[in-house]
Amino acid sequence: MGYPYLALTRQERQEMLSAIGATSTADLFSDIPREILLQENLDLPEPLTESELVRHVRKLSDCNISLDTHASFLGAGVYQHLIPRAVYHLANRAEFVTAYTPYQAEISQGVLQATFEYQTLICNLTGMDVANASLYDGATGLAEAALMALAITGGSRVVTFESMHPDYRVVVDTYLRAVDAELVVIPTDQGVADPTALEPFLGKETAAVLIQQPNLFGLLESASEIGARLEGTPTLLVACVNPISLGILQPPAAYGADIVVGDGQPLGNPLAFGGPSFGFMATRQKFIRRMPGRIVGQTQDGEGNRGFVLTLQTREQHIRRQRATSNICTNAAHSMLIGTIYLALLGKEGLREVAIQCAQKAHFTAERISALSGWELLFEGPFYHEFAVQAPVPWPQVNAALLKEGIIGGLPLAKLYPERPEWENALLFCVTEARTADEIEHLLQVLKGVK
């Protein structure tokens, strides 16, 4: 694919321009008013040698605060986990980083097999029947699930809760407005959803209920009760989950989820300033043809040898585009591959151990913080590896004190919930297995000294 025009010779480019009646590349931009075109050279520095450029870029990079220099207690959707070095040694093999879309199965068996293994692992994690070959990220994955539910049920409304990540809600709302569907957000004053609040919305107009497990505040929703309330109704249950948490939490299939999505970043992918990542999606067998993206299947060739092919591409972008189920045109293949290798290296017991360490360290830290004078947990109830606390002083003062000591502090809820003045000085802390006992103790000492 790429940019074939730039790959042509000067003569070939001139011939192409002549064929459309243009004399130069500038003619291609003749519709742009001249007064807004740059009439002078860009103000760029003199060129550098390779070694000079490397030093310059490294100097710029050193201006950043990174996880190599600071201990991070920030989460809210992107998490730092310990990543075995073998993950990148395998994922960065040439046959993976140079591969493109596996349209030709006969020369793409390695990529197709890796994708098939990924789908199998996602099904094992979620308890669902089928998984696609990944999506862009968790937020767009949730939006795609909402559109999928609308198509399946014929409803015109999607319901979620205030405890769903606000950024995810904005993406879903953007998608739904394009198809004249409504997003209803139910308040969660206590940090978790009240299942009885769904009663006014149980009907054929509601295509899906979206829940996040654990939710933005790190709390565990009453997922089983919500699932039970939707039984016997046309409304689907869509669960947005943290994949690491499934090492110890029940799979979404167990509480009646019809579609499961989430962000795969915790599975071996670094924070990388927020991306790239990949979204995962799994569903029940009966909804397989409504699922966006592509599905890799296992088959046999004429001689009985095992092989892999693209079984479904429901978007139909190549033909009959008007019947496509989604505008998703690709998958985050390399990030997904990293997640696959990470899960394969850890195995079932390794993933469980990571999840247990996250929960244990987070509960220990929350207990110690809430014991400090003036500090208290914002919400009561079981949580996984994130928790919100009320600070006795303005949150900028807290995070400034932490940053001065080499610690990246919690997420201020005021940034995500400006309509909630009672949460003005609340901070959401995250503790994963990557945090050491010394780092946690350092955090506690700094918080203790904040006056």
pLDDT in tens, 24-71: 888 888 889 988 888 888 888 899 999 999 999 999 988 988 898 999
In a domain, 23, yes or no: no
Judge if 79 and 213 occupy the same domain. Answer: no
In a domain, 118, yes or no: yes
| Each residue's pLDDT tens digit, 345-394 | 999 999 999 999 999 999 999 999 999 999 999 999 999 999 999 999 99
Judge if 261 and 202 occupy the same domain. Answer: yes
pLDDT of residue 262: 98
Q: Taking residues 6-13, what's their average pLDDT?
A: 78
In a domain, 364, yes or no: yes
| Each residue's pLDDT tens digit, 131-171 | 999 999 999 999 999 999 999 999 999 999 999 999 999 99
Average pLDDT, the chain: 92
What residue spans of 262-376 are helical by DSSP H? Answer: 333-370
In a domain, 413, yes or no: yes
| Each residue's pLDDT tens digit, 221-272 | 999 999 999 999 999 999 999 999 999 999 999 999 999 999 999 999 999 8
Domain end position, chosen among 297, 317, 343: 343
Residues 6 or more apart whose CB falls under 8 angstroms from that of 90 comprise 341
CB-CB neighbours of 104 under 10 Å: 8
Judge if 389 and 330 occupy the same domain. Answer: no
pLDDT of residue 432: 98
In a domain, 46, yes or no: no
In total, how many domains does the chain have? 2
In a domain, 282, yes or no: yes
In a domain, 44, yes or no: no
Judge if 336 and 357 occupy the same domain. Answer: no
pLDDT of residue 141: 96
Judge if 238 and 146 occupy the same domain. Answer: yes
**CB burial readout 162-196, b (16+ within 10 A) else e:** bbbbbebbebbbebbeeeebebebbebeebbbebe
At residue 326's C-alpha, the angle toward residues 322 and 328, to 5°, is: 120
Closest to 241 in 3D by CA, of 211, 283, 267, 268 = 211
Q: What is the span of the domain harbouring residue 312?
A: 86-343
Domain end position, chosen among 343, 376, 396: 343
Judge if 281 and 353 occupy the same domain. Answer: no
- Distance from C-alpha of 343 to C-alpha of 189, rounded to nearest angstrom: 36
Q: Are 220 and 381 in contact (CB under 8 A)?
A: yes
314-317 long-range Cβ contacts below 8 angstroms, 24+ apart: 314/289, 314/290
Judge if 332 and 355 occupy the same domain. Answer: no
Q: What tokens does 392 get?
A: 């006795």
CB-CB neighbours of 382 under 10 Å: 11
Q: Are 227 and 256 in contact (CB under 8 A)?
A: yes
Judge if 388 and 261 occupy the same domain. Answer: no
pLDDT of residue 1: 40
Residues 6 or more apart whose CB falls under 8 angstroms from that of 370 comprise 376, 377, 389
CATH code for the domain of 363: 3.90.1150.10
Judge if 114 and 262 occupy the same domain. Answer: yes
Q: What percent of the chain has pLDDT over 90?
A: 73
pLDDT of residue 24: 86
Amino acid making up residue 360:
Q
In a domain, 241, yes or no: yes
Domain end position, chosen among 305, 326, 343: 343
Judge if 234 and 292 occupy the same domain. Answer: yes
CATH code for the domain of 329: 3.40.640.10
